[in-house]
Structure 1
């Protein structure tokens, strides 16, 4: 999932990563090499705010094969679901079960079904991959210390990496529902969004509910993003960071199924994972949605602060 990148030599003894941002930064520093130093000891013309620019990091991540495969699969998934429904046998009594039985009732219902089936594993895995791979992959390539030697301030490097991962994760979360909506309109029409309880809302209200559902998912999965980022700055193995975050998510989902835990389940980060389904109703109950957003924000803040502290104090050797 990662690509080995060879370093080039700059000057007499310093190796740099082939990242275009790093090359640009070294070129800029070299141009000011003979202009003296600032009172702080930095090379004249050096600007920390111009190192590791976000657009360069995004372009670099988009060129990676793993990013292209993830986005491609998210586009392909709605078509796979349609084929599965066309090949299988449809239940004539659509309101007898959950969102699975209602998936082919309308385009909004098809989108809701796609979000439900992907919300337990696929979407969390995508978020964990973008955030867990971001710093650990640089360490696995032995290029992290060269990025810091450009020099890129540690807090800026972590922030830019997290921002790039967040943009890609948000784009991924929105991409699949948009494609599913288009596919659903073609195959199942723009009808009402129907809930398992029998509530039906107009197509326009269904679109609003889907948009709010995606926003909620982005907030809810922030806890997983923070955890994956913490693991990414704590290990030199991308697979360990990504896999560790996914395993914690799976464990939380398993514990959430144990009713004997009672109210303790409310403290699990995945307890409110599907609170967004309450949006498919005429009178929306916002209690679980608000609790889920608050819980995810607290977890994300704690993990994010721990990741920042860990990265700024860590001895970088790779």
Structure 2
């Protein structure tokens, strides 16, 4: 009497058969059969990468942001002149072969000003995104994991920050702290750093609430209970077992913070409460150009276009990451 064939252990492929025991989620295994067919067990990150690469707008936006970041990291390589070098024979001159974006009201090459202003604005945006992500993730994780009085205290503090009138706080803080650099004893804090700290203080709350929600839904799951039973410390359980499940929301929210920080910093600088001249930033470049009126259209148009392109690129990247990290999305072979 022959044995019953196992349904879950044998995969037939043409003339050959191999064992196909279940593999872990994090594996990336190639199973090659005698017939030449290939079976590939992909991880969830592999599927996410495939979905992201099929999002054309996200890919184009990622390339634009990458090139923009290179220009911002090494502005001296791309700027034809220094940001404050003057050409007194070409004051407020329109775009030409000598000055591709024209010159400002002081005869400074505007392309150079925009490139160095891009460096300042992107530095502020990425610093705000990194700091607010760290703070928001830490507060949300502690609130969701421990619950009880810890959750109540942290969430009441989060609600307090959320209830603050954002524009009023930004204008007041920018007026008192952002006009000049600050000093904390022997430590000197530059003006862009002050603006970045002000923005980061207000931008972490949304991520904290999102991370808290994920932790609340996962802290009673079997894998968390098993980790506790095996003697795992709270920090290990938070970092190794629960936090990886928050990567998707964290990444998407961080991209949105970058776009919001760029627009907010530009608005503050335009209103005169952000980064002040002669330090170039995209916002104060628009403010300087606005003084000249419509007769000097290039002074407003070029930095405005740069701001719009960066904001759209970051938002499209966020949309692509959100779709890629969505487990309900299907990848067709």
* TM-score in terms of structure 2 length: 0.28
